[in-house]
Structure 1
């Protein structure tokens, strides 16, 4: 598969200091709401993306843990970045829904992971596995984001 804009941007930025922070800023400009979690994209390859949400006051809830909506935002960012880095050129995607289970308190920085097998990119419904882990690799949120995959219209 030819290198798309996500992978090309990551490759170019990887040569710079603070590249994961800068790459997160670039992605957040395409979808500004992601900027609310100040994400750092730590890995993006076809079929997988990881981003980091730092535990800070702006993403905490009333008990001092990372709010699950901030985590959901991070999981959606990881999924969207993975999708853009992975989807074959003749297809397009749109999210249809998200199902999440909250499995533990999120008391540290959170690593959001989205993964899908590259062979899954076919027209129709496609679930993407998403997982959020704390600093001890304890799963704090797990679930699925369902995408609708369709052919791009001919030009």
Structure 2
């Protein structure tokens, strides 16, 4: 692609963005169910942990994981691996909304610092800037550091994360 390719051209060559757009054509009461069904079925661990999609656009994603028995540790809080899962899911999905289908998306760095015990459920929000989205769209290969905030039910951040995603061309 050339440097003048716009982000609006993305919908034409990104399967995930097309699916999200098509789900928005359904009645409001069905949209959340359908989006969760598709994401959970595609990413099996997200389905096993019952991660909920709250928002998914090219600019931002928001996911929630409930503090349920299946994702708890020995002290009854969300397990460290599930905490990393929610952050990885939010960052990966927002990048996934922007990577053209002729590229592979892989996580390059997943660094999680555990700051405090999480209270209740967790909500992860990841955002991409316009510049980051254009880089993903226009560069054959590259990487992006995706900011993510993970908040518990007390409104505090129990973890700080660094998530770097990379993309490379698919071999034909």
Larger Rg: 2
Question: Is 1:104 paired with 2:122?
Answer: no
Which residue number in structure 2 is paired with residue 127 of structure 1? 145
Counterpart of 2:129 in structure 1 is: 117
Q: Deviations over 1:89-111 (max 9, x none)?
A: 66442111201111221121110
Shift of 1:139: 0.8
User: Are 2:161 and 1:147 equivalent residues in the alignment?
Assistant: no
Task: Give the TM-score of the pair, scaled to structure 2.
Answer: 0.77
Name the structure with the higher strand share: 1
Structure 1, unpaired ranges of 5+:
none
Partner Cα distance (1:9, 1:149) in 2: 20
TM-superposed CA distance for 1:71, in Å, is: 1.4
Structure 1 equivalent of residue 18 of structure 2: 8
Check the 8 A contact 1:23/1:40 in 2, yes or no.
no
1:33 aligns with 2:45: yes
**Equivalence map 1:56-71=2 (5 Å):** 56-71=68-83
SS in 1 for 2:90: helix
Secondary structure in structure 2 of the residue aligned to 1:78: helix
Contact 1:94 1:147 in 2 (8 A): yes
For the aligned residue pairs, the C-alpha RMSD in angstroms reads 2.2
- Structure-1-length-normalised TM-score: 0.84
Q: Report if the CA contact (8 A) 2:145-2:164 is conserved.
A: yes
Offset, 1:143: 1.1
Return the offset for 1:142: 1.7
**Alpha-carbon separation, structure 1, partners of 2:16 and 2:142:** 23
